[in-house]
Structure 1
């Protein structure tokens, strides 16, 4: 049986978890936080998520894991048949990660510490997000799914990227980023209403106390040095 390593407060963990649930694959979860020796044994750089395959091979990086899942268990596909259309799906995923998720992550320490990010940081993040908005406006179709008529990995990926944008960029910048892309908020709401998304969210909320305890312990350890 597949083992998913990580924690439910992680959006990347939830991308993989959603894909596994969507494909109706049996798997078990191993709660493990970043920075631990246990995680380094299954993830070369200690990042969440990681999986252990049925053969005992460990893999990390969410996009790599998602590709492995798709190629190994193709019965319920999450990518189109056409190579060009598959590339278009991956293009949306990559742009959302580079120009939506990663810049928003720069604001996480300020949100967790209850402080405002410096204006220079906010402006830099805003500039990168603006590039992402321009690109996603050109690429997203919402007809009804993000890449067209077929539900794909891009729907899962962008939905969980948006959780980071909403939680950190929107609050620090006082900016409804998703509203800048016509159709994005409505699509995102529809995604959040699926049975799988609601299960993933319930598990995330249940995991949050342990995650916040872990974060506080890390902050205290850093301050004591």
Structure 2
């Protein structure tokens, strides 16, 4: 199998964290030009998993669950009812209430960086997502279920942007206002699988920033 991947993508990072947590590796492919990539993966988004039969599976959460089912290593999707619900809730909250406004914010940043009012208008939605997560995230260093689960693959890549570039641009440390979520963020970065992938994201962001500076 192969994975179409962009290191800076929080959704592709989710899959890479799962692979590392399971002790697995996979060939990573850079997506080709958009029109060509849509011929391969009609949604045109990363990650996209190319299975051994040549079929392509999109959507990071679907990919993660599929890989957790078929690959050796610790199972990251709990089978216990309460643990499964708790971990699924964190992932759902992150996808619906944090990923969406974060995407809007960075789209605005990269397409109209001078429109600070438009960026500031998105901040309350991001703050709301962080609030929801703060209410439900685990207090023991893991997102849910008292152990490393798929929720710990999904949430850290999004917090990477909320705690980093977002704060720098918005001039407000939104995560500092959510002590439970902040404690989780500080703890989960020590997990080897998360630590390694976050470093890949940092390097990818640095390369992108260098390209922007060179083009100016």
Q: TM range, normalised to the smaller chain?
A: 0.7 to 0.9
TM-score with structure 2 setting the length? 0.83
**1:55 matched residue in structure 2:** 53
1:111·1:168 contact (CA, 8 Å) conserved in 2? Answer: no
**2:10 matched residue in structure 1:** 11
Residues 118-145 of structure 1, C-alpha deviations (whole Å, 9 max, x = no match):
425523x233223323322221122131
Determine the C-alpha separation between the residues in 2 that align with 1:41 and 1:23.
Answer: 31
Determine the C-alpha separation between the residues in 1 that align with 2:54 and 2:2.
Answer: 9
2:108·2:118 contact (CA, 8 Å) conserved in 1? Answer: no
Determine the C-alpha separation between the residues in 1 that align with 2:202 and 2:137.
Answer: 29
For 1:1-225, list aligned pairs within 5 A: 2-32=1-31, 35-73=33-71, 75-112=73-110, 115-123=113-121, 125-208=122-205, 211=208
Residues 15-51 of structure 1, C-alpha deviations (whole Å, 9 max, x = no match):
1011111112231111226x52342233221001111
Instruction: Check 1:8–1:134 CA distance in 2 against 1; reply closer, same or farther (3 A cut).
Output: closer
Determine the C-alpha separation between the residues in 2 that align with 1:207 and 1:120.
Answer: 26
Instruction: Check 1:202–1:150 CA distance in 2 against 1; reply closer, same or farther (3 A cut).
Output: closer
Number of corresponding residues: 215
Task: Provide the secondary structure at the position in 2 that maps to 1:100.
Answer: helix
Instruction: Check 1:200–1:121 CA distance in 2 against 1; reply closer, same or farther (3 A cut).
Output: closer
In the alignment, structure 1 segments of 5+ residues that lack a partner are 220-225
Instruction: Check 1:102–1:87 CA distance in 2 against 1; reply closer, same or farther (3 A cut).
Output: same
Residues 57-116 of structure 1, C-alpha deviations (whole Å, 9 max, x = no match):
211111111111122236411122213421221111111122122112222144346834
Structural RMSD (CA):
2.9
Task: Provide the secondary structure at the position in 2 that maps to 1:106.
Answer: helix
Determine the C-alpha separation between the residues in 2 that align with 1:209 and 1:138.
Answer: 32
TM-score with structure 1 setting the length? 0.80
Determine the C-alpha separation between the residues in 2 that align with 1:169 and 1:4.
Answer: 28
Is the deviation greater in 71-80 or in 85-94? 71-80
Determine the C-alpha separation between the residues in 1 that align with 2:201 and 2:166.
Answer: 20
